[in-house]
Amino acid sequence: MTFRVLLLLVVLLFVIGAGADDAKRDDDRAPKSESCNNPFQLVKVESWVDGEEGHVHNGVSARFGSVLPDKPDKSVRTPAIFANPIDCCSNSTSKLSGSVALCVRGGCDFTVKAYFAQSGAATAILVINDSQDLFEMVCSNSSEANISIPVVMIAKSAGQSLNKSFTSGSKVEILLYAPPRPLVDFSVAFLWLMSVGTIVCASLWSDLTTPEKSDERYNKLCPKESSNAETEKDDLDKEIVNIDSKGAVIFVIAASTFLVLLFFFMSTWFVWVLIVLFCIGGIEGMHNCIVSLTLRKCQNCGQKTVSLPLFGEISIFSLAVLLFCVAFAIFWAATRQESYSWTGQDILGICLMITVLQLARLPNIKVATVLLCCAFVYDIFWVFISPVIFHESVMIAVARGDKAGGEAIPMLLRFPRLFDPWGGYDMIGFGDILFPGLLISFAHRFDKDNGRGASNGYFLWLVVGYGIGLVLTYLGLYLMNGNGQPALLYLVPCTLGVTVILGCIRGELESLWNYGTDSSLSTEPPGSEV
């Protein structure tokens, strides 16, 4: 088994297929009552120390209490003070009147803390959590909560930062507001372009990288180069994996197994294993893309070689590109927590997927139907049905890295939310590109083998269908208040469904179903167009 084929199998086993964002949403399972039914809001906690602007912390509002304004100019800067006792479980000996009361979590219910702070005439209460998570504060046992002041939880680090300001004897002021997330962020448009563009490039890659000087006269003048090109093409053909129906089913079962392992055993070291695998695959993919595109314009670039131990004779140009790709991947891994790291992850991921779609092929619509239908069920089960068994969505938890300190696995394309006051990223899993991409790549080969044009072929229609499917995915994402969506729920009908419908209308479904087998029928470009 060659390295490239091994790379293909590893990548396919770790595909993630849910369109999602990285923000946690309301917990509808939390107890509610008439006075305890507020939506959970993300809250901005701005601070001033002796009149100078300090840190801005993030918090989350409680199920009870008053609702915060959405803009800072609608709120009021208010002095902050630590309650005494600090857990707010009894009347405070500190004067809370006209101040934001700071309390620590524990000792009593959240509603009790809010009651005593409100009794002391506090304008709001900030509950400092004992960890970095933001816990969603609810009413115990659906009890009534007659609280009329805002109640907000902040992380442990935010509480420590505020406490340092108090220990220096400074005056601390707090401003609370809850800016809403925009209904639509332009990040989804860029993700749409990256996803569609990756599939189109992968499908047309062989056309894009065919040497320009491949005519007969050039082959006579440069027989050695022509022979080398043919040898490389034969080697690539040997590495191509033609997926069959049995392999498609086994793959989905194996992918489900790995997903469960990731869910239960995800940790920092496990994420590093995935990062290393992703870097290796990204290096291979990036090297393949750069070399292929460069040699199309300049075949002489690959003529000078050098002999290296273990590797034998290798092109100097190929070696230089490899070293560049390794440096690029290492730089991304070292700076993956930086705000700009998404660019490196997306570049490596796109190159990797283009290479994978060159190595894996669907022979016909029969295998495509088995693979995509299994992936369809796989995506829906692990996003929507798995919470019934595992108490949370397995796919979304793995994609967000909930069990690895919030560090998401790298098998995702990401783009920052440019106009979201809360920042974050919109994401799409490799599976949402690779699965439909296999079918669209097949459609391009089918059209090319049978001399089809854009209108009477299948490739263009499937690309349009895929684009529409992504739009429906993000529409579903917003209608479901940002909760992760199984993208294949929309993408499979918009790609496989379109193929079947067009095949039936054109009377070619049997040819598509058995294409590449002895029983397949030869197709000629039909006179009618759809």
Asked if 283 and 398 sit in the same domain, the reply is yes
Q: Does residue 326 lie within any of the structural domains?
A: yes
pTM of this prediction? 0.81
Give yes or no for a contact between 81 and 163, defined as CB atoms under 8 angstroms apart: no
User: How high is the pLDDT of residue 409?
Assistant: 78
Q: For position 143, which CATH number holds?
A: 3.50.30.30
Asked if 146 and 254 sit in the same domain, the reply is no
Instruction: Pick the more confident residue, 477 or 213.
Output: 477
Q: Does residue 312 lie within any of the structural domains?
A: yes
Q: Does residue 16 lie within any of the structural domains?
A: no
Whether the pLDDT of residue 193 is over 90: the answer is yes
Answer left, alpha or beta for residue 106, where phi above 0 means left and psi between -120 and 50 means alpha.
Answer: left
Asked if 345 and 261 sit in the same domain, the reply is yes
User: How high is the pLDDT of residue 226?
Assistant: 44
Asked if 49 and 194 sit in the same domain, the reply is no
- Model confidence pLDDT, tens digit, residues 24-74: 444 444 555 666 888 888 999 999 998 888 889 999 999 898 999 999 999
Instruction: Pick the more confident residue, 225 or 109.
Output: 109
Asked if 190 and 138 sit in the same domain, the reply is no
pLDDT band at 23 (very low <50, low <70, confident <90, very high): very low
Q: Does residue 226 lie within any of the structural domains?
A: no
User: How high is the pLDDT of residue 212?
Assistant: 56
Total domains, the chain: 2
Token pair recorded at residue 358 = 């060159």
% of the chain beyond a pLDDT of 70: 82
Domain range holding 49?
38-177
Q: Does residue 120 lie within any of the structural domains?
A: yes
User: How high is the pLDDT of residue 530?
Assistant: 41
Strands 100-104 and 312-315: unpaired
232-237 mean pLDDT? 50
Whether the pLDDT of residue 519 is over 70: the answer is no
User: How high is the pLDDT of residue 502?
Assistant: 94
Asked if 89 and 200 sit in the same domain, the reply is no
**In angstroms, rounded to a whole number, what is the distance separating the alpha carbons of residues 249 and 240?**
19
Asked if 355 and 426 sit in the same domain, the reply is yes
Asked if 282 and 144 sit in the same domain, the reply is no
Q: Does residue 9 lie within any of the structural domains?
A: no
Asked if 247 and 352 sit in the same domain, the reply is yes
Which residues, listed in sequence order, are joined to residue 21 by a DSSP beta bridge?
426
- Model confidence pLDDT, tens digit, residues 113-168: 999 999 999 999 999 998 887 888 888 765 566 889 999 999 998 999 888 888 77
Asked if 161 and 251 sit in the same domain, the reply is no
Token pair recorded at residue 21 = 């964002």
User: How high is the pLDDT of residue 229?
Assistant: 47
Whether the pLDDT of residue 444 is over 80: the answer is yes
Q: What is the DSSP string of 49-91?
A: ETTEEEEEEEEEE-SSSPPPPSSGGGS--EEEEE-SSTT-SS-
431-454 mean pLDDT? 91
- Model confidence pLDDT, tens digit, residues 352-408: 999 989 888 899 999 999 999 998 998 889 888 888 888 888 887 777 766 666 567
Instruction: List active site positions.
Output: 379, 432
Ramachandran angles phi, psi of 26, nearest 5°: -55, 145
Asked if 253 and 304 sit in the same domain, the reply is yes
Q: Which amino acid is at 468?
A: I
219-235 mean pLDDT? 47
Asked if 362 and 420 sit in the same domain, the reply is yes
User: How high is the pLDDT of residue 481?
Assistant: 66
User: How high is the pLDDT of residue 218?
Assistant: 41
Q: Does residue 221 lie within any of the structural domains?
A: no
Return the minimum-mean-pLDDT range out of 142-151, 439-448, 486-495: 142-151
User: How high is the pLDDT of residue 17?
Assistant: 55
419-440 mean pLDDT? 88
Q: Does residue 254 lie within any of the structural domains?
A: yes
Return the minimum-mean-pLDDT range out of 94-103, 172-181, 228-237, 329-338: 228-237
